Amino acid sequence: MHSSARTGTKDTRAGRSGPGAARVPAGSHGFLTYAVPVPPAGPSRLWTLLLAAVGGALTRLAFPGTDWWPLAFVGMALLFLALRRDSARWNALVGLVWGLGFFPWLITWADVAVGPVPWIALALVCAGFVAAFGAAWTWARRGEAVRRSRGWQLVVFPLVWVATEELLAVWPFGGFPWGRLAFSQADSPLLPFVSWGGVPLLSALVCVVGVLLGQAGVTVRRANLLGAAASGLAACLVVLAGFLVPLDSGAQDGELVVGAVQGDVPGEGLDAFGERAQVLANHVQGTRALLDRVEPGELDVVLWPENGTDIDPQVDEAAAAAIDGAARALQAPMLVGTVQYPESGGRYNTSVLWEPGQGVVATYTKQRPAPFAEYIPMRGIARHFSSAVDLVTRDMLPGDEPGYVPLESPRLGRTVGLGTVICFEVAYDGLVRSAVRAGGEVLVVQTNNASFGWSDESLQQLAMSRVRAVEHGRATVQISTVGVSAVIRPNGAVTERTELFTADQMVASLPLRTSQTWATRLGSWPAWIVDALALSSVVAGAVGAARLRGTNRGEAA
């Protein structure tokens, strides 16, 4: 039987002949033959798993902390090479290994914040999605066009990957989009493409470059140096094409002069906000310190971070007096991150616009509380894995309005739209986009990173804010309780930033922009199109392979 597959004589088990009759396992029932050639098995299984583990680790190094963004291409190339075998089960294992080489080291901040069990559980869930990708890619590649054509592989591999990212971004419990490839490219020439098709397009282009490099590796192994050079050159051209994408970062309707206050907190980790009055005092003091840099009335608005006060100034007179006193001293409204406790139970994470002498005139409520951190799904079950769930005594409730805060600017003589998101919301495409579509002329990312210590979490969040600035063509301010805070131009450039666990202030003039990028206009359509095409590719490949198996079984009988 072995010689028949090699020499082209008739394969009596498969019922066909020819050199293209390569065999694939079929459970315990022997071997069946595809009507089209399968990819060569490639490296040994052990070497394949090593490729996957190294690929995941290298991709982690592309993200903030190290910021070696080209390694994302290498990591995806190694994953492409590691998935050369034609077994969905095996490739699911390969994907899992890649995911375990990537996610645990990307989100070490989860261990800092909530402990090892939730950290490992989250990493395993995320790695499971890469395992699902490995199986899905195997099925999609069984389609005759994809199997025969390197060009189709160059299209379908990124489609399936991005669809997997999109699924993880929405499920389970609202999703966890933290490890999307696009967020590793804040310093890459590819970044401008995000203004065309959003995060899905940017992630897809990282995959495209990775597949081209992987194909170059395959052709080198076959001693086809010309083909390898062509693939490598194509990969370089894709990356360099980003320099041709225009980015307009100039003001379209004036500039907004803002002050941003990073007040710092007395401690770190879960105890960082044990002294709520001190946190409020730190931010009041930091606000008054702005007077060393500006004159009263010079600022259009002062920005505080998420949890700038965990004492609700709408019910606590002392907190209200402290905030109003700072606002009066600056003669400027303040966007304050605080909390609200409704009588019906639960709590809200809110951002309130405080006018001096008037109090709250506008409010935004966080729409996407973080599961297992700000609220506990399935509390009874989760308690069996970690007693830390009981530290969340009141579950956070979601808001239902876009992150738009209207700011009356006497200096500009009009209402300026502030697009506002809170903390992890910056990772969710739809939440940021809805803030811009509602009228946001600048973006404000209010966040509290105190629970994550000295980890890379704040830097990873900053990279997301930079991607969002380019995606929607908006100047962006990320303002944190403890850092890293930054001012970002609409082209993604950081003009000012702070360090971790320091009290600091920033003053900046932000260009106000009202036009919408193609990514803003298209909305979720690119993602939906990718999902549909990816699903079609996977189903077509799987159904086609199943039909061939049925035909082969019939012929063998």
Residue 552 lies in a domain: no
What pLDDT shows up at residue 375?
80
* DSSP state letters, 131-168: HHHHHHHHHHHTSHHHHH-HHHHHHHHHHHHHHHHHHH
Which residues are known catalytic residues? 306, 366, 423
Say whether both 304 and 201 belong to one domain: no
Say whether both 27 and 76 belong to one domain: no
Specify the DSSP element, H or E, that contains 88.
helix 88-106
Residue 519 lies in a domain: no
Residue 300 lies in a domain: yes
Residue 548 lies in a domain: no
Residue 556 lies in a domain: no
Structural domains in the chain (count): 3
Strands 301-303 and 476-480: unpaired
What pLDDT shows up at residue 344?
87
Residue 314 lies in a domain: yes
Q: Is the pLDDT of residue 66 over 60?
A: yes
Whether 369 and 346 have beta carbons less than 8 Å apart is answered as no
* Beta strand extents in 411-501 (DSSP E only): 414-422, 442-447, 476-480, 486-488, 494-497
Distance CA 317, CA 401 (A): 27
Say whether both 153 and 292 belong to one domain: no
Provide the sign of the torsion angle of the four alpha carbons 294, 298, 303, 308, taken in this order: positive
Say whether both 297 and 321 belong to one domain: yes
Distances (CA, A) of 174 to 60, 128, 351, 372: 23, 16, 21, 12
* 203 vs 33, more confident: 203
Q: What average pLDDT does range 418-431 have in this prediction?
A: 98
Q: What average pLDDT does range 332-340 have in this prediction?
A: 97
Least confident of 116-120, 138-142, 147-151, 370-374: 370-374
Say whether both 407 and 532 belong to one domain: no
Which CATH number goes with the domain that contains 431?
Answer: 3.60.110.10
Say whether both 412 and 488 belong to one domain: yes
Q: Side chain identity at 503, as an amino acid letter?
A: A
Say whether both 315 and 233 belong to one domain: no
Confidence band for 373, pLDDT divided at 50, 70 and 90: confident
Say whether both 239 and 327 belong to one domain: no
* DSSP state letters, 189-240: TTGGGHHHHHHHHHHHHHHHHHHHHHHHHHHHHTT-HHHHHHHHHHHHHHHH
Distance CA 262, CA 290 (A): 11
Distance CA 206, CA 199 (A): 11
End-to-end CA distance of the chain: 17
* 173 vs 23, more confident: 173
Q: Find, among 176, 108, 116, the residue nearest to 457 by Cα.
A: 108
Domain enclosing residue 19, as ranges: 1-35
Per-residue pLDDT tens digits for 204-216: 999 999 999 999 9
What pLDDT shows up at residue 555?
55
Mean pLDDT of all residues in the chain?
A: 89
Say whether both 414 and 452 belong to one domain: yes
Q: What is the C-alpha R_g of the chain?
A: 26
Q: What is the side-by-side strand order in the sheet with 442-447?
A: 404-409, 414-422, 442-447, 476-480, 486-488, 494-497
Distances (CA, A) of 542 to 69, 406, 440: 34, 51, 45
Say whether both 1 and 144 belong to one domain: no
For residue 535 the two structure tokens come to: 């699903």
Per-residue pLDDT tens digits for 146-175: 988 999 999 999 999 999 999 999 999 999
Q: What average pLDDT does range 479-491 have in this prediction?
A: 97
Distance CA 446, CA 308 (A): 9
Least confident of 273-287, 359-373, 378-392, 500-514: 378-392
Say whether both 326 and 226 belong to one domain: no
Q: Find, among 106, 105, 79, 48, the residue nearest to 164 by Cα.
A: 79
Residue 299 lies in a domain: yes
Whether 322 and 283 have beta carbons less than 8 Å apart is answered as no
What pLDDT shows up at residue 549?
66
Say whether both 450 and 532 belong to one domain: no
pTM score: 0.90
Residue 553 lies in a domain: no
